Structure 1
């Protein structure tokens, strides 16, 4: 047991307000979910939000797609599904590069207050998107644009550039006990 805090445990920051780069990485569940929660929070505060998913295909209709569609938040699938299901990894790489061009354009346009680059660490790790080009786009974005990047194995250079990094760590997972993914809960 611990007593509730009655004094603020920190000094109020005095720095500038600006677009932040947040990275959610690690082997635990919840990276995309955290990004979508942030997108929902931003949208609820009147910010313009755009979501790009680098692994999901363009016609995906998962729960987040359905919810964001009801809100009018654009979500674009840029991939062709899990790489282990791909029939043509060169085509997967091409989709990632073409999708990155669209995501980069949205990021640099300044038209959005929050851009979510969900599962972007994978095409970076596979060499499908040049890391330095990705980092340069993040550095060059308009000052007000917040960005969230998700995925396992985020490159060290991305972590160094980020303002906030959260690593999701698996403690226990139902899948390891033979429980399959459950629609609307996890996939």
Structure 2
């Protein structure tokens, strides 16, 4: 029979000792966490960017929208590329809370579907003007600008105009969330929180189409 070390004997013969060590480690972690949190007392309206090639950018943003709804805090959502004719699960759900959600679906589909740059630019401009109004409206605690990064990527809106407004005109207590891959460096620079979704594996590459309840 292999010889047990003192540490292994204590582990195998004394669960109480294991529990005591675990409790001591947890106590130290809590103390460190409490020290870190002592200076974290401020609140502010955040500019949040979800970007990257991985799936989940809009889904994560909608999670924050639903948290606001759960706290009875009004929100606004502007979707820049989705078309009003699309039957999406999020639109169905958001419309169930008209007293808390202002929803504007301003797109005409993806650019390869419209194949008309002038129409895409006009739709992006209309969406942006509505977004500005909603951000300045004190009723809304958060505004989600879904796929704004897409229209910025294709230069349908001037990045300088968007950055200047979000940096200088956004109310100090207003949260604004921007989604879409290929976020512009200028937007990332002024953001408070930036998350990049990384693509590791996607069923689309294996021939699986977008599915109800997962993608829309």
Rg larger for = 2
Counterpart position of 2:162 = 134
- Residue 114 of structure 1 corresponds to 142
Query: Which structure has the higher relative contact order (CA within 8 Å, separation 6+)?
Result: 1
Structure 2 residue corresponding to 1:56, chosen from 79, 82, 87: 82
- Residue 94 of structure 2 is matched in structure 1 by 68
Question: Cα distance, 1:59 vs. partner?
Answer: 3.7
Pairs aligned (count): 185
Q: Secondary structure at the match of 2:79?
A: strand
Structure 2 residues not aligned, in runs of 5+: 1-21
* Residues 1:23 and 2:23 aligned together: no
For structure 1, the residue ranges without an aligned partner over 5 or more in a row are none
Which aligned segments of 4 or more residues in structure 1 are displaced greater than 3 angstroms? Answer: none
Residue 73 (structure 2) pairs with residue 47 (structure 1): yes
Counterpart in the other structure of 1:150? 179
More strand by share: 1
Structure 1: distance between partners of 2:95 and 2:171: 26
Residue 14 of structure 1: how far off its partner (Å)? 2.7
Name the stretch that deviates more: 166-175 or 81-90.
Answer: 81-90
Aligned with residue 190 of structure 2, among 161, 166, 170: 161
Alpha-carbon distance in structure 2 between the residues aligned to 1:171 and 1:183: 21
Q: Is the 8 A contact 1:59 1:77 kept in 2?
A: no
3-state SS, counterpart of residue 40 of structure 2: coil
Q: CA RMSD in A?
A: 1.7
1:57/1:81 contact within 8 Å kept: yes
Give me the whole-angstrom Cα distance separating, in 1, the residues matched to 2:132 and 2:158: 12
3-state SS of 1:153 partner: coil
1:83 aligns to what?
111
Q: CA deviation at 1:15?
A: 4.8
Q: Which has the higher helix share?
A: 2
Q: For residue 163 of structure 1, report the CA deviation from its aligned partner.
A: 0.6
How high is the TM-score relative to the length of structure 2? 0.81
Residue 200 of structure 2 is matched in structure 1 by: 171
